[in-house]
Amino acid sequence: MATQALINPTLLRWARERAGLDLEDAALNANVKPTQLESWEKGESRPTFRQAQNLAHIYHAPFGYLFLQEPPAEPLPLPDLRTVGGAPVPRPSIDLLETVRIALQRLEWYLDYQKDHGLEPLPFVGRFRLDSPVIEVAADIRNTLNVTVEQGQRTWEIYFRELIEAAERAGVLVMRSGIVGSNTHRKLDVSEFRGFAISDPFAPVVFINSADAPAARLFTLMHELAHIWIGTSGVSSGAPGNNRREEAFCNAVAGEFLVPQEIFLPHWQRGPAELDLRVAELARRFHVSRLVIMRRAFELGLVDQATYNDHYLAVLAAFRNQENGGGNFYRTAGAKNSTRFAQAVVTEALSGRLLLREAGRLLGVQPNKIREFADQIGI
């Protein structure tokens, strides 16, 4: 007879709810009857060790958690700056918690790596404060990244890529992913968060939730970079109208960087009467997406919240409809980890100073694929 696991029934139910699963879905995933799982949660019977381990795996919880007397405290490792309708959001999901922890683990390794390569603080981290003029902060970011307010026909996709490359050259680790780690079955929820920033003076990190519509990610990038420039870390919902002071300020800086008010307003006023044509014309002029133009118009009181929300939801729905999960794995892995970080890890691995197994763990790449990955990221 299989040995029963003396787990805490209360913790079993807590772990399921923590994973966001109802009784029926959890039982289906565990290949047991809902009545059986309910019996375990009530303490009327006990699972075997193998069954309990399987449940812990399904719930993305350490097996030892099920034996605790009470649920462990799991605070978000970064300040939580998210709000919905001006109110604080519910507790962070395990997907968000794990994504932040992965980023912090990568940052910890990178800081140790940098100590052996002449670590110096970056002058732009925390250069400004919340009471600094928005225009000055946006101008300083533009100067540091060495980009100008250009006109012309370049696409916002190219602009987005160039801004990420410029941020990485300046020393920022830009990570992008729509899943937890390398688990394609655990997609991040864009309604929960759109990005976060870690304002470390030596190796600041910006994370962009790639589950969001591509057209929205450009604004998220600049919002999180603004956090770095004022030296504040935190998880952002990125929603317009967030009344938290840091979020409102970073939204303003992102808007001013991408679409300077002084240039934007005259063109908006002289644009075509039809809204779609006016937005399209301005998107081409500022090489940003139409969504960024709509957001800027909303923030300046030129369109209402409902108009902006409808536009955003339509863009997000279109992205989800065409999403197929394909693409080059190594290119995706490079973006997920930050090219700067990935190159550092691969260089150490190929030199023999870092085990391939450890490099694979840090990058989410099979150890025997590290050399192939190196070719894809230009090493």
Q: Got the DSSP string for 255-302?
A: HHHHS-HHHHHHHHHHS-SSHHHHHHHHHHHHTS-HHHHHHHHHHTTS
48, 55 contact by CB (below 8 A): no
66, 12 contact by CB (below 8 A): yes
| Average confidence (pLDDT) over 293-310 | 90
Does residue 178 have a pLDDT over 80?
yes
Residue with token string 């993305």: 60
Model confidence over 188-247: pLDDT tens digits?
988 889 999 999 999 999 999 998 888 889 999 999 999 999 999 999 986 776 778 899
Does residue 365 have a pLDDT over 80?
yes
Single-letter residue type at 325: G
* Radius of gyration of the chain from its Cα atoms, rounded to whole angstroms: 23
**In this structure, are strands 205-209 and 173-177 parallel, antiparallel, or unpaired?**
parallel
Share of the chain above pLDDT 90, in %: 51
Predicted model pTM:
0.86
Does residue 290 have a pLDDT over 60?
yes
Residue 289: CB atoms within 10 A of its CB come to 25
Model confidence over 53-69: pLDDT tens digits?
999 999 989 999 999 99
Tell me what pLDDT residue 20 has: 84
H-helix or E-strand spanning residue 180: strand 179-180
